[in-house]
Amino acid sequence: MKKINEIFYSLQGEGMNTGTAAIFIRFSGCNLNCDFCDTHHEDGTMMTDDDIICEVNKYPAKMVVLTGGEPSLWIDKELIEKLHEINKFVTIETNGTNNLPDGIDWVTCSPKKGGTVVLNHIDELKVVYEGQSLKKYDKYITCNRFLQPCSNKNVKETIECIKKYPEWRLSLQTHIIVGIR
């Protein structure tokens, strides 16, 4: 059983896959406490893997986004395998503080204050920019580095930072900008 906050169909609004149709599986609960979090962790319904697959099958998109909260608290190899069995491309948005099961197709790691990243493989590093030094992110090996303004509030400062550190790319929360989930 896994605690699911919601399953919904929309477009990916952030990072490398912005604009791609996706089925979002939002898990409840997190091991960190970020000020800007948009998930109500007390909400959620306990679901089996088969219940989750049944919901996912309602939508035509190939991409599934495991998000939260912190999905690594709930996911396992069996769920990943079941998603692959129905021909889904499985992505995860994680704070990186927990190991992940094998088989995830795309790993987006968004390190947060108070957490230590333990992942060996990161496809995409997405950092919420609040004026912090980017030097501490040099240790992460990835070809895709995204800097995201905090709640779209400090866009100009984020752009100026990227101009100083051009290995980073801008990631806006386009789902919020265009008014979708």
161 is catalytic: no
3-state helix, strand, coil in the chain (%, to 5): 25, 25, 50
Q: How many structural domains does the chain have?
A: 1
34 is catalytic: yes
Return d(Cα 68, Cα 160) in angstroms, integer: 29
30 is catalytic: yes
Q: What is the CATH number of the domain that holds 101?
A: 3.20.20.70
What does the pLDDT read at residue 41?
65
* Residue in 27, 67, 70, 93 annotated catalytic: 93
* Residue in 6, 18, 20, 34 annotated catalytic: 34
**Residue 158: which of 173, 174, 147 has the closest Cα?**
147
Low-confidence ranges of the chain (pLDDT < 70): 36-41
Diameter over CA atoms, the chain: 48
What does the pLDDT read at residue 37?
66
What does the pLDDT read at residue 33?
75
* Residue in 24, 70, 124, 161 annotated catalytic: 24
What does the pLDDT read at residue 114?
83
DSSP state, residue 103: T
Domain that holds residue 102: 2-178
What is the pTM for the complete model shown? 0.94
pLDDT digits (tens, 9 = 90+) for 56-102: 999 999 999 999 989 999 999 999 999 999 999 999 999 999 999 99
* Residue in 30, 67, 94, 158 annotated catalytic: 30
* Residue in 41, 81, 84, 175 annotated catalytic: 175
- 17-54: burial string, b at 16+ Cβ within 10 Å, e else: beebebbbbbbbbbeeebeeeebebeebeebebeebbe
What does the pLDDT read at residue 32?
79
